[in-house]
Amino acid sequence: MTSLIHLTHRTVPALALAVALLSPALLRADEGPTEAKGLVALPPEVEALPVEQAILTAAPNVPPPFKRQYSARVIVNLEVREVVKRLADGVEYTFWTYGGSVPGSFIRIREGDVVEFHLNNHPSSKLPHNIDLHAVTGPGGGAASSFTAPGHSSQFTFQALNPGLYVYHCATAPVPMHIGNGMYGMILVEPKEGLPPVDREYYVMQGEFYTTGRYGEEGLQSFDMAKAIDERPPYVVFNGAVGSLVGDRALTAKVGERVRIYFGVGGPNLTSSFHIIGEIFDKVYPEAGLHLPNTNVQTTLVPSGGATVVEFKVEVPGTFILVDHSLTRAFNKGALGMLKVSGPENRVIYSGKEIDAVYLGAQAEAGSTSAKREAELKSQIAAEMKSNPAIAGLTKEIQIEKGKQVYMGLCFACHQPDGRGLPGAFPPLAGSDFLQADRDRAVRIVLKGLSGPVVVNGQTINSLMPPQEAVLTDAQIADVLTYVNNSWGNKGDAFSADKVKAIRNEIR
């Protein structure tokens, strides 16, 4: 039996402080903090249950299935931490987390278990937090009982009555802001009879981030409440960051294995159309009720604050792409991951060829050579700056690498990855006399688009290029033109973001 007395001593002043800190207006969206009632007197048969410490895992990992056939008293220790981490390359964000990362630690318990839950708010936190577990039967799902000031710890007990996969999240006002900063995770209440055995289990959660800067704008970003209210997030991502399941961070499996994904949506607002390109879900447990799976599903709808469990056997090798099939979220906001399957081909089921680079663009490259080279060059600059002020060459090289990422995410679709365009449809950028002739005009074309006849290297094209002013920042335009002007045999100076800004203002 564990001794819990010290925790109650800490909880009472925590709640008193919290009550004093918060005005009633702030508490309307959730259950307000309640006075600590003291330890619950558990009946002897519960007191007698074996005690177990829950194993918590960070995504995409899942704690192992249970071997035991009996109920236990499970102790969960979850720590809240506010941490600065990568949201995308060059973009940082102050995430509020359960367990240090987004989504929060995966908790696995068994139907019938009595859970002694400890929520510990790290002393470095700036705000109080709590937890609402959808697996809890009781007011606020535990929110009122777990309200915890920085440097304090709360405790409450619940019994897991209903098997299923459940979202948990912070319910401290303003609730959408706490969830929007990453305060969500999942708890699996495994049915007494267990789940069918599989070879691999993964944990993936979708959530959107409402940054003040637009997608890709570098630096430390903060939460934009106006965008959240309008439900216009610059980022929609899996597992807390763009590219968290891409390249060498991809999920993996071997041909012939059965894979189960516990997929949830933290939101705070958007519903997901979860799909894996090139796979069919053999089974989907709709809305994560763990009975009566649906079979042979292509795309499954997962509500905000909800979850699903999908299972499938991988039959052929290759890279399978996890997306929210609301596809601008996948291709423009980050909701894209990968499952890499290795093993022998089965050319009857599928004849061959790997991921299609033109289809995926920069996403196929994420975490790849170009991003790594950019990081290398940046650290080279930092070292160089100490001893040598002549760093212009390196800055240009960085622009080229960044510009390549913009190009491979956008321009490649028309002008082609090799810059040669398509005869009669898209003019070449490689060796283009038209491009070389006027640098400012190139900036205007990217900003405002282009239509009507143009003669490039003696060939007339009469088509239309869409404007990119709403899509790209000044820096991204400078970078992409620097890349274009220094690739495929083109030679030229770097473009500066300031110059692009000036032209943008001129032609506004």
Q: How far is the CB of 499 from ligand HEC (least distance, A)?
A: 15
Site string for ligand HEC, 409-448 (x = CB under 6 A): -xx-xxx----------xxxx--x-xx------x--xx--
- Told to check if 172 binds Cu ion by CB under 5 A, we report yes
From Cu ion, ligand HEC, none, which one binds at residue 129 (CB under 5 to 8 Å depending on kind)?
Answer: Cu ion
* Alpha-helical regions (H) of 388-493: 392-409, 412-415, 433-437, 439-448, 474-484
From ligand HEC, Cu ion, none, which one binds at residue 39 (CB under 5 to 8 Å depending on kind)?
Answer: none
User: In the complex with ligand HEC, which residue's Cβ is closer, 242 or 443?
Assistant: 443
User: In the complex with Cu ion, which residue's Cβ is closer, 207 or 421?
Assistant: 207
From Cu ion, ligand HEC, none, which one binds at residue 170 (CB under 5 to 8 Å depending on kind)?
Answer: Cu ion
User: In the complex with Cu ion, which residue's Cβ is closer, 169 or 404?
Assistant: 169
From Cu ion, ligand HEC, none, which one binds at residue 445 (CB under 5 to 8 Å depending on kind)?
Answer: ligand HEC
From ligand HEC, Cu ion, none, which one binds at residue 480 (CB under 5 to 8 Å depending on kind)?
Answer: ligand HEC
- Told to check if 310 binds Cu ion by CB under 5 A, we report no
Q: Classify burial at 196, counting beta carbons within 10 Å of its beta carbon; exposed 0-12, middle 13-18, buried 19 or more.
A: exposed
> Which of 183, 265, 290, 309 touches Cu ion by CB under 5 A?
183
- Told to check if 408 binds ligand HEC by CB under 6 A, we report no
Tell me how many helices (H) and strands (E) the chain has: 14, 24
Is beta strand 318-324 parallel, antiparallel or unpaired with respect to 132-133? unpaired
Q: Where are the beta strands (DSSP E) in 58-199?
A: 73-88, 91-98, 106-110, 114-121, 132-133, 153-159, 164-169, 184-190
Amino acid at 268: P
Whether the bond between 268 and the residue before it is cis, its omega within 30 degrees of 0, is yes
Binding segment (CB under 5 A) for Cu ion, from list 81-89, 129-137, 158-166, 319-327: 129-137
Instruction: Give the separation between CA 203 and CA 201, rounded to whole angstroms.
Output: 7
Backbone angles phi and psi of 405, in degrees to 5: -65, -40
52: which 2 tokens?
A: 């177990």
Q: How far is the CB of 506 from ligand HEC (least distance, A)?
A: 18
Q: How far is the CB of 365 from ligand HEC (least distance, A)?
A: 16
User: In the complex with ligand HEC, which residue's Cβ is closer, 452 or 489?
Assistant: 452
Those residues whose C-beta lies under 8 Å from the C-beta of residue 327, and which sit 6 or more positions away, are none
User: In the complex with ligand HEC, which residue's Cβ is closer, 334 or 427?
Assistant: 427
- Told to check if 503 binds ligand HEC by CB under 6 A, we report no
251: which 2 tokens?
A: 């999920």
- Told to check if 466 binds ligand HEC by CB under 6 A, we report yes
108 SS3 class: strand
From ligand HEC, Cu ion, none, which one binds at residue 468 (CB under 5 to 8 Å depending on kind)?
Answer: ligand HEC
Q: How far is the CB of 170 from Cu ion (least distance, A)?
A: 3
Size of the site for ligand HEC (CB under 6 A): 29
User: In the complex with ligand HEC, which residue's Cβ is closer, 404 or 415?
Assistant: 415
Q: How far is the CB of 87 from ligand HEC (least distance, A)?
A: 23
User: In the complex with ligand HEC, which residue's Cβ is closer, 465 or 475?
Assistant: 465
Q: Classify burial at 256, counting beta carbons within 10 Å of its beta carbon; exposed 0-12, middle 13-18, buried 19 or more.
A: middle
User: In the complex with Cu ion, which residue's Cβ is closer, 183 or 360?
Assistant: 183
Closest CA to 310 of 292, 278, 288, 327: 288
Q: How far is the CB of 211 from Cu ion (least distance, A)?
A: 18
Q: Classify burial at 75, counting beta carbons within 10 Å of its beta carbon; exposed 0-12, middle 13-18, buried 19 or more.
A: middle
- Told to check if 152 binds Cu ion by CB under 5 A, we report no
Contact assessment for residue 296 and residue 280, using Cβ atoms and an 8 Å cutoff: yes
Those residues whose C-beta lies under 8 Å from the C-beta of residue 243, and which sit 6 or more positions away, are 88, 89, 249, 334, 366, 367
Those residues whose C-beta lies under 8 Å from the C-beta of residue 505, and which sit 6 or more positions away, are none
Q: How far is the CB of 179 from Cu ion (least distance, A)?
A: 8
Closest CA to 74 of 134, 117, 21: 117
- Told to check if 484 binds ligand HEC by CB under 6 A, we report yes
Contact assessment for residue 127 and residue 163, using Cβ atoms and an 8 Å cutoff: no
Binding segment (CB under 5 A) for Cu ion, from list 179-187, 292-300, 422-430, 488-496: 179-187
21: which 2 tokens?
A: 């800190």
Binding segment (CB under 5 A) for Cu ion, from list 176-184, 304-312, 320-328, 367-375: 176-184
347: which 2 tokens?
A: 């050319």
> Which of 468, 473, 482, 485 touches ligand HEC by CB under 6 A?
468
Is beta strand 272-277 parallel, antiparallel or unpaired with respect to 299-302? antiparallel
Contact assessment for residue 285 and residue 263, using Cβ atoms and an 8 Å cutoff: no
Q: How far is the CB of 243 from ligand HEC (least distance, A)?
A: 21
Q: Which residues of the chain form contacts with Cu ion (CB under 5 A)? A: 129, 170, 172, 178, 183
Q: Which residues of the chain form contacts with ligand HEC (CB under 6 A)? A: 410-411, 413-415, 426-429, 432, 434-435, 442, 445-446, 450-452, 454, 456, 461-466, 468, 480, 484
